[in-house]
Structure 1
Amino acid sequence: MTAEYVLRSLLMLFLALLSANASNWLYLAKLSSVGSINDEETCERLRGLIHKQVQICKRSVEVMDAVRHGAQLAIDECQFQFRNRRWNCSTLETMPVFGKVVTQGTREAAFVYAISAASVAFAVTRACSSGELEKCGCDHNVHGVSPEGFQWSGCSDNIAYGVAFSQSFVDVRERSKGQSPSRALMNLHNNEAGRKAILSHMRVECKCHGVSGSCEVKTCWKAMPPFRKVGNAIKEKFDGATEVEQRKVGTTKVLVPRNSQFKPHTDEDLVYLEPSPDFCDHDPRTPGMLGTAGRQCNRTSKAIDGCELMCCGRGFQTEEVEVVDRCSCKFHWCCYVKCKQCRKMVEMHTCR
């Protein structure tokens, strides 16, 4: 075995590990807090960050607790949106938190990258508006009288700062050397699509002023949508994601639909490079590939949550379990609701 061969093998191993660490910063969600120790050594101790993310952390230690919150927000939303699918965003105690699923160029990875980039932008923006961060606050660029005649006032969400931080912190991994060019393009595209899901759903909230709420004067501000609405929008893009491949147009590498009959994707669409596995069986060689054995299913549904599809044709077992619900609730003046606990037997179906 020559020294050149050993060196080449080590290099390939390094690049493989580098690629596998693409979403390791989501491991911050496992921490109870980040910003409790405001010093640069905090950043050195954080698991899951690449060197450039550590440098960003050192320049913005106070923002990192919002990033941690964003990581948890991404995981929670992923698990809600995929709760009835074969792959349900189960997390591991290792990195990446979703296992090897997100290291492949599938549409599931596309969703994870989009929701993660969106969650950081959302959480950092929310921290700005609530006064938690010294570096940012409300968006003071929104002022004066609008064309509709109302007065811009109040605390408009500083989404520009949140998006900019997400772009610098989340995207830096994809701009580093060692990443597959096509996968980097895919990740960057989906990151931006996730952030655009917030921007395209920004809303105007208003408050009326005047005698007895006459609304003689109306002041308004720009606000982010609830994050559930962002998750719903990205999930819709997941369902209609476009399979793409890398091509060279002039001197630029771009992603185009693999099927030329499909129309080009927009900046808000999700894209993926390779088909997803069926997620039916547990694969110990692929962390995060847990299979569907033991998963609860809906016997009467014909959708993906139905026992026929969820259980991949293996069949399911049914058992009666006791469920405790609140019932016979009454409102008592003033001011509380008192309920009884009712017990009933229901059928539960789980995949074999």
Structure 2
Amino acid sequence: MGTLGSQVMCDNIPGLVNKQRQLCRQHPKVMQAIGAGMKEWISECQHQFRNHRWNCNTTARDHNLFGRLLLRGSREVAFVYAISSAGVVYTLARACSQGDLDNCSCDPTKKGSSRDSKGSFDWGGCSDHVEHAIHFSQIFVDAKERKERDARALMNLHNNRAGRKAVKRFMTLQCKCHGVSGSCSVRTCWQAMADFRRTGDHLRRRYNGAVQVAVNQYGTGFTAAHTHFKRPSKNDLVYLEDSPDYCIRDPQSGSMGTAGRLCSRASRGSDGCEVMCCGRGYDTARVSRTTKCECKFHWCCAVRCRDCQQLVDEFTCRLQSLSAAPAMLALRNVSFLDPKTIRTD
């Protein structure tokens, strides 16, 4: 992409501050890699919350992917910032290792010999250059927050850092053996990132234990918002405001509501119809699904199946109704993060 093309691309990305636009114009291939990698972290976010009232849904009508949700300093927003920051690191490190970018490649520090619990080994292969990816991510992603330095900016910076640290946390040493008859007398090893799912699982756990905070008297850091809360560590996610319940559609809070969402009638968890539908009730429809059946193994290397039609019941949450209002209000007073507190007798 030429200079003019990169300038046009960068000028048409909404929400960038001047520092980000400057970096975008200087590194158009990096920005293209980040854009392509967005699908991966959004997909991971939606996987982690697929059975919850807030399911990391996106909207194409707003200037950002999550609309007005990002205006609120909630724990869901904390997760979005952490997973997106992690996604940028993961995408860039992978692009460097695959040779897709001109300004980076494999980690140049992994040279010579080293040792681990199994003995000595030689560095070889292509180690993912995570430090380079973290450095660029910190400069680019944090640029907007460093202009403000208010409570919300401090929250975003903290969660951005937690996301970056999560990718580095799951770096693993992978080795290949050399020697007579695979004796492994010589090992060649390299550092590789784990599958992004491990980062997503880790940040999901951090979301569950996120700490509500307030800015300290100096405006430089956080204290726990309540005396019985622990002080957040650098690995914790932090948030400033309570979450909406996400039961009904509310454009002001960024809630899409749960009307029309699939739920499980048998479950008593967050995916159960009682919790997901917030007491509004649910509709049942019998639908036909195509499944693989009568599978047979054929020598030597093939499994052949028939396509069978199966009738199953699907349950979807209803819209708000007057008759459901009392039950819905009762359920809305219960945290959607703790469905075990809801009585179903």
TM-score normalised by length of structure 2: 0.86
Mark the CA change 1:37 to 1:79 in structure 2 (over 3 Å): closer, same or farther. Answer: farther
2:207 paired with 1:238: yes
Which has the larger displacement, 77-86 or 256-265?
A: 256-265
Matched residue type, 2:258: T
1:261 aligned to 215, 221, 228, which one?
228
Which residue is 2:257 aligned to? Answer: 291
Which residue is 2:99 aligned to? Answer: 131
Aligned residues: 314
Structure 2 counterpart SS, 1:261: coil
Mark the CA change 1:70 to 1:334 in structure 2 (over 3 Å): closer, same or farther. Answer: same
Which residue is 2:151 aligned to? Answer: 182
Which residue is 2:124 aligned to? Answer: 153
Task: Report if aligned partners of 1:38, 1:62 keep a CA contact under 8 Å in 2.
Answer: no
Matched residue type, 1:201: F
Matched residue type, 1:254: G
Task: Report if aligned partners of 1:35, 1:64 keep a CA contact under 8 Å in 2.
Answer: no
Task: Report if aligned partners of 1:35, 1:65 keep a CA contact under 8 Å in 2.
Answer: no
Q: CA deviation at 1:285?
A: 4.2
Give me the whole-angstrom Cα distance separating, in 2, the residues matched to 1:341 and 1:265: 52
1:72 aligned to 18, 24, 39, which one?
39
Q: CA deviation at 1:37?
A: 8.2
Which residue is 2:177 aligned to? Answer: 208
Which has the larger displacement, 42-51 or 307-316?
A: 42-51
Which has the larger displacement, 182-191 or 300-309?
A: 300-309
Q: CA deviation at 1:213?
A: 2.1
Task: Report if aligned partners of 1:316, 1:350 keep a CA contact under 8 Å in 2.
Answer: yes
Q: CA deviation at 1:38?
A: 5.8
Give me the whole-angstrom Cα distance separating, in 2, the residues matched to 1:340 and 1:213: 43
Q: CA deviation at 1:334?
A: 5.0
Which residue is 2:79 aligned to? Answer: 111
Give me the whole-angstrom Cα distance separating, in 1, the residues matched to 2:245 and 2:2: 40
Give me the whole-angstrom Cα distance separating, in 2, the residues matched to 1:233 and 1:104: 23
Task: Report if aligned partners of 2:68, 2:252 keep a CA contact under 8 Å in 1.
Answer: no
Which residue is 2:278 aligned to? Answer: 312
Matched residue type, 1:116: S
TM-score normalised by length of structure 1: 0.85
Which residue is 1:341 aligned to? Answer: 307
Task: Report if aligned partners of 1:99, 1:289 keep a CA contact under 8 Å in 2.
Answer: no
Give me the whole-angstrom Cα distance separating, in 2, the residues matched to 1:130 and 1:311: 45
Identical aligned residues as a percent: 48
Give me the whole-angstrom Cα distance separating, in 1, the residues matched to 2:23 and 2:3: 17
Structure 1: 5+ residue runs without aligned partners? 1-33
Structure 2: 5+ residue runs without aligned partners? 319-345
Give me the whole-angstrom Cα distance separating, in 2, the residues matched to 1:306 and 1:38: 49
Q: CA deviation at 1:284?
A: 4.0
Task: Report if aligned partners of 1:238, 1:270 keep a CA contact under 8 Å in 2.
Answer: yes
The runs of 4+ residues in structure 1 deviating greater than 6 Å are 34-37
Task: Report if aligned partners of 2:244, 2:255 keep a CA contact under 8 Å in 1.
Answer: no
